[in-house]
A = this chain, B = another copy of it.
Amino acid sequence: MTAKTTSTILILGAGKSTTYLIDYLADSCAKKDRKLILADLDIELAKSKLKGKPSTEARSLDIDSEKDRLALIEVAELVISMLPASMHPIVAKDCLMLGKHFFSASYESAELQMLKPEIEAKGLLFLNECGLDPGIDHMSAMKIIHEAQSKEEEILSFKSYCGGLLSPTSEDNPWKYKFTWNPRNVVLAGKGTSQYIEKGDMKFVPYHQVFKRTETIHFDGLGDFDGYPNRDSLSYRKVYGLERIQTMLRGTLRRAGYCKAWDVFVQLGLTDDSFQLELPIESTLKQFLNSFLPYNEILTVEEKLAEAIPDMDFPTFEKIQWLGFFGNRKLPKTTGSPAQLLQAILEEDWKLYPEDKDMIVMQHLFEIQTKEGFRKINSSLVCFGEDATYTAMAKTVGLPLAIAVDLFLDQKIKATGLLTPVIPQIYEPILAKLEEFGIRFIEKTEF
């Protein structure tokens, strides 16, 4: 690659979280004599996202057509996959075959790890986990970790929480939640067994306990949030070079009270995705709820619910009532798994309106043993969206990726191989650039 060649960037997928990514790269391509191709099954969507900017081109692509996919990748120097995560290995293999660089905001999968030797041999960069979570979480944490390690301090404890929520101005329902992200992932959140380590003890949390195993996380000016442990935190000890750490937990944030109410659905089985229901058409939410409660000749659904969930409090009851579970509201969908039926209900009630503003919150909590004594670091990020299109989610997912691509094409990132942004060469310039966009951590230190 020489500075004289026109670089072509190919973005696959023009979905929700691509707004800032596209804007940033379209502008940068115009300035730097590069070309940006945005491909989506829906070419009109791609065109609307590009807004007719110079140096850009919208293309229609059925990602399942290998021929069309390869033809498009062939003309690019670098591919950014914004497709569903299951598509990444397929696109990555295409890129490897055609000698193209590959970028994504998704987890580095086992399938990608198998390609590592060949990626290295070809001198390509395959950079994954370069969005928000995973992405900004890694970068901001590694900065603190590397600083401490350079001073030979010992990190005793590291907890990291992140949430995609609503700006307080848009918190207009009792859940203080709307979908700013894939609804299915929200409904299935926490499935599997969460694993972490605390004071040297391994901890394993089954799905039906995870929304009870919460910690209160406070943000100045915003108040309290519920943090629950998210999937396998243990594997991050190696990623972060913290093999001997005594406490390590990665978690997800919801507004205070959300987890207790959501846990009602988990406890009863309404988030079950393992079997198919076929309820009579015209069934109500109340009937749906009742099918997860024991039969009782005398008690009402509300009374049976209170009996099944002994620690139910009024804020919890109110959240479930607000969704219409105790009235005559009809189910929007009567066949599918319980989780799919619940998702259909929530998609009506947790819909983001055009004027709604979302919010990203992230907090790292470190406990560090220094030569002088014990130090606590609380590093927090808060980012607000502008509306339902220019969301904080799209900003924090898309900008790190856009910046990484730009830095790489400018040869300011020179690393190659299969990487995540845990090395200073990558995270330092990205974090610096993000600050220009107001994506900035506030650090509080306590001795």
Residues of A within 8 A of B (CB): 192-193, 195, 198-199, 201-206, 208-209, 213, 267-269, 272, 274-275, 277, 279, 287, 290-295, 310-311, 338
Contacts and interface: CB of A to CB of B under 8 A. Distances in A.
Contact of A206 (B204, B268, B279): B268
A383 to B, nearest CB: 31
Ranked 5 nearest A-B pairs via Cβ: A206-B269, A198-B295, A208-B208, A202-B291, A193-B275
B204 A277 contact: yes
B291 A209 contact: no
B201 A269 contact: no
Complex copy number for this chain: 2
A272 B203 contact: no
A275 B207 CA distance: 13
Contacts of A206: 208, 268-269, 272, 292
A268 to B, nearest CB: 7
Contact of A204 (B202, B272, B295, B311): B272
Contacts of A267: 208-209
Given A209-B269, A268-B209, A310-B310, A291 B192 contact: no
Nearest to A275: B193
A205 B279 CA distance: 16
A295 to B, nearest CB: 4
Contacts of A277: 202, 204
11 contacts: A192-B274, A192-B275, A193-B269, A193-B275, A198-B295, A201-B287, A201-B291, A202-B291, A203-B293, A208-B267, A209-B269
Given A267-B209, A310-B310, A193 B272 contact: yes
A393 to B, nearest CB: 30
A13 to B, nearest CB: 31
Nearest to A274: B193
A201 B292 CA distance: 10
A286 to B, nearest CB: 12
A201 B268 contact: no
Which of A199, A206, A290, A293 has most B Cβ within 10 Å? A206
A337 to B, nearest CB: 10
Contacts of A295: 198-199, 201, 203
A291 B193 contact: no
Nearest to A295: B198
Contacts of A311: 310
Nearest to A200: B295
A292 B208 CA distance: 12
Contact of A294 (B203, B293, B338): B203
A195 B338 CA distance: 13
Contacts of A274: 192-193
Contacts of A294: 203, 213
A267 to B, nearest CB: 7
Which of A193, A277, A338 is the most central at the interface, judged by chain B CB atoms within 10 Å of its CB? A193
A41 to B, nearest CB: 34
Given A203-B295, A205-B292, A209-B268, 6 more contacts: A201-B295, A203-B291, A203-B293, A206-B208, A206-B268, A310-B311
